[in-house]
Homo-oligomer: A and B are copies of this chain.
Amino acid sequence: MAQPVDATLTDVGEFGLIAELVALFEQGEQVLIGPGDDAAVLRIRNGHVVVSSDLMVEGRHFRRDWASAEDVGHRAAAQNLSDINAMGGVAHSLTIGLAAPGDLPAQWALDFARGFAAECALVGASVVGGDLTRADQVVVAVTVMGACTEAPVVRSGAAAGDVLALTGRQGWAAGGLAVLGRGFRSPRVLVEAYRRPAPPYPAGRVAAEAGATAMIDISDGLLAEAGHLAERSGVSIDVRRDAFDLAEPLLAVGAALGVDPMEFVLGGGDDHALLATFGSRAQVPEGWSVIGSVAEGSGVTVDGAAYEGPTGWTHF
CB within 8 Å for A129 and B52 given contacts A97-B141, A154-B33: yes
User: For A53, what are the chain B residues with a Cβ–Cβ distance below 8 Å?
Assistant: 95-97, 129-131, 141, 143
What 0/1 pattern do residues 83 to 98 of A give for CB contact below 8 A with B? Answer: 1101101000101111
User: For A54, what are the chain B residues with a Cβ–Cβ distance below 8 Å?
Assistant: 97, 131
A96 to B53, CA, bound (A): 7
A152 to B113, CA, bound (A): 28
A217 to B93, CA, bound (A): 23
B97→A133 contact, CB < 8 A: no
- Check A67 for interface membership: any CB of B closer than 8 A: no
Binds B, one of A2-10, A36-44, A160-168: A36-44
A95→B52 contact, CB < 8 A: yes
Which of B51, B86, B135, B217 touches A95 (beta carbons < 8 Å)?
B51
In this complex, what residue of B is CB-closest to A46?
Answer: B44
A39→B87 contact, CB < 8 A: yes
A150 to B32, CA, bound (A): 9
Binds B, one of A17-25, A55-63, A181-189: A55-63
What 0/1 pattern do residues 119 to 135 of A give for CB contact below 8 A with B? Answer: 00000000011111111
Residues 218-261 of A contacting B (Cβ, < 8 Å): 232
A145→B48 contact, CB < 8 A: no
- Check A309 for interface membership: any CB of B closer than 8 A: no
- Check A50 for interface membership: any CB of B closer than 8 A: yes
In this complex, what residue of B is CB-closest to A85?
Answer: B38
Min C-beta distance of A273 to chain B, whole Å: 13
User: For A99, what are the chain B residues with a Cβ–Cβ distance below 8 Å?
Assistant: 55, 57, 139
- Check A280 for interface membership: any CB of B closer than 8 A: no
- What are 15 A-B interface contacts by the 8 Å CB criterion? A38-B216, A39-B52, A40-B50, A42-B49, A42-B51, A43-B47, A44-B48, A53-B97, A53-B131, A54-B97, A55-B141, A61-B133, A97-B141, A137-B137, A139-B139
Considering the complex of A and B, which 6 residue pairs feature the smallest CB-CB distances, nearest first? A141-B141, A39-B52, A53-B95, A143-B143, A38-B86, A55-B97
Further contacts, 13 of them, CB under 8 A, given A41-B87, A57-B134: A38-B84, A38-B87, A38-B155, A39-B144, A42-B50, A44-B48, A53-B96, A53-B129, A54-B97, A55-B133, A60-B134, A136-B137, A137-B137
